[in-house]
Amino acid sequence: MALAGFGKKEGDPLSDINVTPLVDVMLVLLVIFMITTPLFERGIDVNLPQTVSSNISGAERVIVTIPKDKNYVYFNSQPVNRELMKSYLQQIFKNRADKTVYLFADKAVPYGEVLTIMDEVKQAGIETVGLATEPPAQK
Protein backbone atom coordinates (compact mmCIF):
# COMPACT_ATOMS: atom_id res chain seq x y z
CA MET A 1 0.00 0.00 0.00
CA ALA A 2 1.38 3.44 -0.92
CA LEU A 3 0.22 5.26 2.27
CA ALA A 4 1.60 2.72 4.72
CA GLY A 5 4.93 4.54 5.05
CA PHE A 6 8.52 3.35 5.09
CA GLY A 7 9.21 0.07 6.81
CA LYS A 8 5.59 -0.49 7.84
CA LYS A 9 3.60 -3.55 7.07
CA GLU A 10 0.01 -3.48 6.00
CA GLY A 11 -1.40 -4.74 9.31
CA ASP A 12 0.63 -2.42 11.67
CA PRO A 13 -1.35 0.15 13.66
CA LEU A 14 -0.95 3.81 12.69
CA SER A 15 0.93 6.02 15.11
CA ASP A 16 -0.21 9.31 13.57
CA ILE A 17 -2.30 11.72 15.62
CA ASN A 18 -5.75 12.41 14.32
CA VAL A 19 -6.12 16.21 14.56
CA THR A 20 -9.66 16.40 13.21
CA PRO A 21 -11.35 16.28 16.66
CA LEU A 22 -8.89 18.89 17.95
CA VAL A 23 -9.69 21.21 15.05
CA ASP A 24 -13.43 20.69 15.62
CA VAL A 25 -13.18 21.58 19.31
CA MET A 26 -11.01 24.62 18.59
CA LEU A 27 -13.47 25.93 15.99
CA VAL A 28 -16.38 25.49 18.40
CA LEU A 29 -14.46 27.37 21.11
CA LEU A 30 -13.60 30.11 18.63
CA VAL A 31 -17.26 30.57 17.73
CA ILE A 32 -18.26 30.61 21.42
CA PHE A 33 -15.67 33.28 22.27
CA MET A 34 -16.60 35.35 19.22
CA ILE A 35 -20.23 35.38 20.36
CA THR A 36 -19.64 36.00 24.08
CA THR A 37 -16.84 38.60 23.94
CA PRO A 38 -19.04 41.56 22.91
CA LEU A 39 -21.31 40.80 25.86
CA PHE A 40 -18.48 41.50 28.32
CA GLU A 41 -17.52 44.87 26.86
CA ARG A 42 -20.13 46.84 28.70
CA GLY A 43 -19.30 50.22 30.11
CA ILE A 44 -20.17 51.69 33.47
CA ASP A 45 -23.51 53.46 33.55
CA VAL A 46 -22.89 57.02 34.67
CA ASN A 47 -25.35 59.85 34.19
CA LEU A 48 -23.00 62.78 33.45
CA PRO A 49 -24.04 66.41 33.86
CA GLN A 50 -24.58 68.35 30.64
CA THR A 51 -22.45 71.28 29.46
CA VAL A 52 -21.68 73.00 26.17
CA SER A 53 -17.90 72.37 26.22
CA SER A 54 -16.20 69.81 23.98
CA ASN A 55 -15.37 66.17 24.70
CA ILE A 56 -12.12 64.75 26.03
CA SER A 57 -9.62 63.45 23.48
CA GLY A 58 -6.37 61.58 23.89
CA ALA A 59 -5.03 58.09 23.39
CA GLU A 60 -3.51 57.25 26.77
CA ARG A 61 -5.88 58.93 29.14
CA VAL A 62 -6.72 57.68 32.60
CA ILE A 63 -10.40 57.88 33.43
CA VAL A 64 -11.65 57.62 37.01
CA THR A 65 -15.37 56.89 37.12
CA ILE A 66 -17.50 57.40 40.24
CA PRO A 67 -20.79 55.50 39.95
CA LYS A 68 -23.81 55.83 42.26
CA ASP A 69 -22.57 53.02 44.51
CA LYS A 70 -19.57 54.55 46.23
CA ASN A 71 -17.73 51.40 47.35
CA TYR A 72 -15.71 51.20 44.15
CA VAL A 73 -14.25 53.61 41.67
CA TYR A 74 -13.32 52.53 38.17
CA PHE A 75 -10.01 53.12 36.40
CA ASN A 76 -10.63 52.73 32.66
CA SER A 77 -13.53 50.30 33.38
CA GLN A 78 -11.57 48.30 35.98
CA PRO A 79 -13.12 48.36 39.48
CA VAL A 80 -10.77 49.43 42.29
CA ASN A 81 -11.58 49.56 45.98
CA ARG A 82 -11.74 53.12 47.34
CA GLU A 83 -9.09 52.43 50.00
CA LEU A 84 -6.62 51.31 47.34
CA MET A 85 -7.28 54.19 44.93
CA LYS A 86 -4.41 56.44 46.05
CA SER A 87 -1.74 53.73 45.86
CA TYR A 88 -3.14 52.51 42.54
CA LEU A 89 -2.89 56.01 41.06
CA GLN A 90 0.67 56.43 42.34
CA GLN A 91 1.60 53.15 40.71
CA ILE A 92 0.01 54.11 37.36
CA PHE A 93 1.64 57.55 37.19
CA LYS A 94 5.05 56.58 38.56
CA ASN A 95 6.81 56.77 35.17
CA ARG A 96 4.43 59.02 33.25
CA ALA A 97 5.22 62.55 32.18
CA ASP A 98 1.59 63.61 31.67
CA LYS A 99 -0.09 63.46 35.07
CA THR A 100 -3.70 64.06 34.06
CA VAL A 101 -6.80 62.21 35.26
CA TYR A 102 -10.28 62.66 33.83
CA LEU A 103 -13.07 62.29 36.39
CA PHE A 104 -16.48 60.95 35.34
CA ALA A 105 -18.95 61.34 38.22
CA ASP A 106 -22.63 60.48 38.16
CA LYS A 107 -25.04 63.38 38.77
CA ALA A 108 -26.47 61.53 41.77
CA VAL A 109 -23.08 61.39 43.57
CA PRO A 110 -22.94 64.12 46.24
CA TYR A 111 -20.62 67.05 45.58
CA GLY A 112 -18.66 66.35 48.77
CA GLU A 113 -17.92 62.81 47.64
CA VAL A 114 -16.58 64.05 44.30
CA LEU A 115 -14.36 66.56 46.12
CA THR A 116 -13.07 63.85 48.47
CA ILE A 117 -12.03 61.71 45.50
CA MET A 118 -10.48 64.73 43.75
CA ASP A 119 -8.47 65.40 46.93
CA GLU A 120 -7.25 61.79 47.02
CA VAL A 121 -6.25 62.07 43.36
CA LYS A 122 -4.26 65.25 44.11
CA GLN A 123 -2.61 63.58 47.13
CA ALA A 124 -1.46 60.77 44.82
CA GLY A 125 0.65 63.33 42.92
CA ILE A 126 -1.66 63.96 39.97
CA GLU A 127 -1.18 67.50 38.66
CA THR A 128 -4.36 67.94 36.59
CA VAL A 129 -7.90 66.66 37.18
CA GLY A 130 -10.41 67.16 34.37
CA LEU A 131 -14.14 66.87 35.04
CA ALA A 132 -16.10 65.17 32.26
CA THR A 133 -19.57 66.21 31.14
CA GLU A 134 -21.82 65.40 28.24
CA PRO A 135 -23.24 67.85 25.70
CA PRO A 136 -26.82 69.05 26.20
CA ALA A 137 -29.59 67.20 24.41
CA GLN A 138 -30.55 68.57 21.01
CA LYS A 139 -34.00 70.19 20.93
User: What's the pLDDT at 1?
Assistant: 47
CATH of the domain at 69: 3.30.420.270
In a domain, 138, yes or no: no
Q: Which residues of the chain have pLDDT under 70?
A: 1-8, 40-59, 70, 139
In a domain, 1, yes or no: no
| Residue 121 within a domain | yes
The count of domains in the chain is 1
Provide the residue range defining the domain that includes 126: 62-131
SS3 readout for the chain: CHHHCCCCCCCCCCCCCCCHHHHHHHHHHHHHHHHHHHHHCCCCCCCCCECCCCCCCCCCCEEEEECCCCCEEEECCEEEEHHHHHHHHHHHCCCCCCCEEEEEECCCCCHHHHHHHHHHHHHCCCCEEEECCECCCCC
* pTM reported for the whole predicted model: 0.56
